[in-house]
Amino acid sequence: MMNKFDTLPAVTAVELSGIWKRFPGVVANAGASLSVYRGSIHAVLGENGAGKSTLMNVLAGVYRPDEGEVRVEGVEHRFRTPADALASGIGMVHQEFRLVPSFTVAENVVLGAAARVLRRQAIEDEVGELAERFGLATRPERPVWQLSMGERQRVEILKALWRDARILILDEPTAVLTPAEADELGVVLRAMADAGRSVIFISHKLHEVTGFCDEATVLRGGRTVAASMSVPDTDAGELASLMVGSLPVTTERPPAHPTGPPLLEVSGLSALGDRGLPALESVDLTVRAGEIVGIAGVAGNGQRELCQVVSGLRPAKAGTVHLAGDDMTGASPRRLFQAGLGYIPEDRLGVGLAPRLSVIDNSILRTYEAHRRGPFIVADRAEAHCADLVERFGVRTGPLDEPMAGLSGGNLQRLLVGRELSGRPRVVMAAQPTRGLDVQGVKAIQDLLVEAREAGAAVLLVSEDLDELLTLADRLVVMHDGEIVGEFDPTTAARSEIGEAMIGHAAGVGS
């Protein structure tokens, strides 16, 4: 697995080893390592939450690691600020751009290193020249807020080039690009690598990695699970399975049993994504009472938007959503909840829970109506409800009136799942419900979903963990590029076949 890329001169530009980084409640990096040769494009692959951005922020001086060693061009460094990393020739294009929208392109580019007195025309000319030299089309006099995402990205790269960064980190650069823009970026990066710079390219899109990267390192759960694999010699399917990994099987496949009437029916559903581009294309999906339908796919292929539309958080462009036979297209989240939808969102702390509110307040966020007298919440009743949830769902917590944020990831999720399931919803939609949890947490959540199924709920499970889906789902559909591209029977389907569908090579029964 550790085969070195040996056609390049063996000069190591970056060497990270044994990097640990903990945040309250999460271990983002657990001894991760990375080694990058000069003049190569090195992909860092991993699912959402694998710790890629954290590792790169450590290299760029934004985060200080708890443990571990950072070597740049052979010299050990302890970066205390981004300025230190910049001084060592490291430039980073962050996942969320670091640009000042009200500044012009030129002002943004020179921000880190400008002459004492600025002459507008002069810096615009210089930035224009630099852009031309590297083939990064931009208009230096334009304010950044007027630019497309693609052009903003070019400005970010120009910033690094302006400071003459020898090591360029791009964190999920293609997430905001159209496919054509992504291809152009590949060309630019290759030219930079050929000129002796080293490029670290973060992604979870396999085809880009195979398209223009030399080597790949795969992270999972904060650890490096495969280091510096030669991309031309590695099969895309192998990289995919390394990314997704295989958890120890903790849950027995529940015996199949007869299903009831369709409770969730999605038909012809289309919707736009955050950037106004199509994210869902006429999706048809039915989930019956007493079954778990799994949605597999590489992140960013419309799963998030599907959940958002069904839960009332994103408008549909076309198509309908029916809940237990009633048309619920465009209904508010509150109405959907009252109609029997339990939703376990992907973004637990953003959408699911309010971290600064107490455990009690979080537990009644959805059902406060049941705990009020007139305009007041009856504190005793709310607390009793919360204590009941905590007990039934095994949440380990401190005092219930303390802020939620103090709970560990697994316990946050138990409370959230408990809150959504305690009202016995008819339809349960769970997005990445076990992501980032430890083994016990995973098992607890999976058991709860199976229980809900046994109780006659229709369960829609979105997961990037194929093993989880193969264990739990009664039926499995694969999403790619906003469409459902295949349906599989988890008891008989081959993993490789599902994997092919996930990367867009049509296969599978139906559709």
Ligand X SMILES: Nc1ncnc2c1ncn2[C@@H]1O[C@H](COP(=O)(O)OP(=O)(O)O)[C@@H](O)[C@H]1O
Task: Please answer whether residues 209 and 240 qualify as being in contact, where contact means their C-beta atoms are separated by less than 8 angstroms.
Answer: no
Which tokens belong to 144? 């950044």
Task: Please answer whether residues 20 and 30 qualify as being in contact, where contact means their C-beta atoms are separated by less than 8 angstroms.
Answer: yes
CB atoms within 10 A of CB 320: 14
Strand partners, 19: 32
Using CB under 6 A, pick the residue from 33, 35, 40, 54 that binds ligand X.
Answer: 54
Tell me whether residue 436 or residue 482 sits nearer to ligand X (CB atom). 436
Note whether 81 binds other proteins by CB under 8 A: yes
Alpha carbons 139 and 143: distance in angstroms, whole number:
9
- Least Å from the CB of residue 197 to other proteins: 19
Sole window of 111-119, 265-273, 353-361, 431-439 interacting with other proteins (rule: CB under 8 A): 111-119
Alpha carbons 389 and 43: distance in angstroms, whole number:
44
Q: Residue 83, Cα to own-chain centre: how many angstroms?
A: 28
Using CB under 8 A, pick the residue from 34, 110, 168, 478 that binds other proteins.
Answer: 110
- Least Å from the CB of residue 213 to ligand X: 17
Tell me whether residue 26 or residue 387 sits nearer to ligand X (CB atom). 26
Strand-pair category, 376-377 with 318-323: unpaired
Note whether 352 binds ligand X by CB under 6 A: no
Strand-pair category, 427-431 with 376-377: unpaired
Using CB under 8 A, pick the residue from 116, 255, 373, 380 that binds other proteins.
Answer: 116
Alpha helices by DSSP H, listed for 339-465, are: 359-363, 379-392, 409-422, 439-454
Tell me whether residue 186 or residue 436 sits nearer to ligand X (CB atom). 436
Note whether 166 binds other proteins by CB under 8 A: no
Tell me whether residue 45 or residue 287 sits nearer to ligand X (CB atom). 45
Using CB under 6 A, pick the residue from 5, 36, 46, 309 that binds ligand X.
Answer: 46
Note whether 52 binds ligand X by CB under 6 A: yes
Alpha carbons 185 and 93: distance in angstroms, whole number:
13
Alpha carbons 171 and 91: distance in angstroms, whole number:
11
Task: Please answer whether residues 197 and 161 qualify as being in contact, where contact means their C-beta atoms are separated by less than 8 angstroms.
Answer: no
Within 13 A of 157's CA, how many CA atoms are on the CB side? 28
Within 13 A of 291's CA, how many CA atoms are on the CB side? 19
Which tokens belong to 384? 């009793």
- Least Å from the CB of residue 44 to Mg ion: 10
Note whether 62 binds ligand X by CB under 6 A: no
> What is the chain's length?
511
Alpha carbons 316 and 326: distance in angstroms, whole number:
16
- Least Å from the CB of residue 85 to other proteins: 9
Tell me whether residue 48 or residue 408 sits nearer to ligand X (CB atom). 48
Tell me whether residue 275 or residue 356 sits nearer to Mg ion (CB atom). 275
Amino acid found at 124? E
Alpha carbons 491 and 476: distance in angstroms, whole number:
10
Residue holding tokens 């289309």? 270
By CB under 5 A, name the binding residues for Mg ion.
53, 95
- Least Å from the CB of residue 407 to ligand X: 14
In sequence order, the 6+-apart residues with CB closer than 8 A to the CB of 387 are 400
Note whether 241 binds ligand X by CB under 6 A: no
- Least Å from the CB of residue 83 to other proteins: 4
Note whether 410 binds ligand X by CB under 6 A: no
Please count the residues of this chain forming the interface with other proteins, following the rule CB under 8 A: 31
Sole window of 35-43, 102-110, 206-214, 360-368 interacting with other proteins (rule: CB under 8 A): 102-110
Note whether 356 binds ligand X by CB under 6 A: no
Contacts of ligand X in 418-437 (CB under 6 A): 436
- Least Å from the CB of residue 56 to Mg ion: 8
Q: Residue 444, Cα to own-chain centre: how many angstroms?
A: 23
Using CB under 6 A, pick the residue from 13, 16, 28, 477 that binds ligand X.
Answer: 28
- The DSSP secondary-structure symbol of 350 reads I
- Least Å from the CB of residue 173 to Mg ion: 11
- Least Å from the CB of residue 497 to ligand X: 27
Strand partners, 288: 262
Sole window of 112-120, 174-182, 326-334, 405-413 interacting with other proteins (rule: CB under 8 A): 112-120
Sole window of 76-84, 394-402, 438-446, 503-511 interacting with other proteins (rule: CB under 8 A): 76-84
Note whether 101 binds other proteins by CB under 8 A: yes
Tell me whether residue 12 or residue 95 sits nearer to Mg ion (CB atom). 95
Amino acid found at 402? E
Q: Residue 170, Cα to own-chain centre: how many angstroms?
A: 16
Note whether 53 binds ligand X by CB under 6 A: yes
Alpha carbons 227 and 242: distance in angstroms, whole number:
11
Note whether 276 binds other proteins by CB under 8 A: no
Alpha carbons 355 and 367: distance in angstroms, whole number:
18
Using CB under 8 A, pick the residue from 78, 125, 129, 145 that binds other proteins.
Answer: 145
- The DSSP secondary-structure symbol of 147 reads S
In sequence order, the 6+-apart residues with CB closer than 8 A to the CB of 94 are 156, 171
Using CB under 8 A, pick the residue from 16, 27, 72, 92 that binds other proteins.
Answer: 92
What residues make contact with ligand X under the rule CB under 6 A? 23, 26, 28, 46, 48-54, 436
What residues make contact with other proteins under the rule CB under 8 A? 23, 60, 62-64, 81-83, 86-87, 92, 94, 98-103, 107-108, 110-118, 145, 159
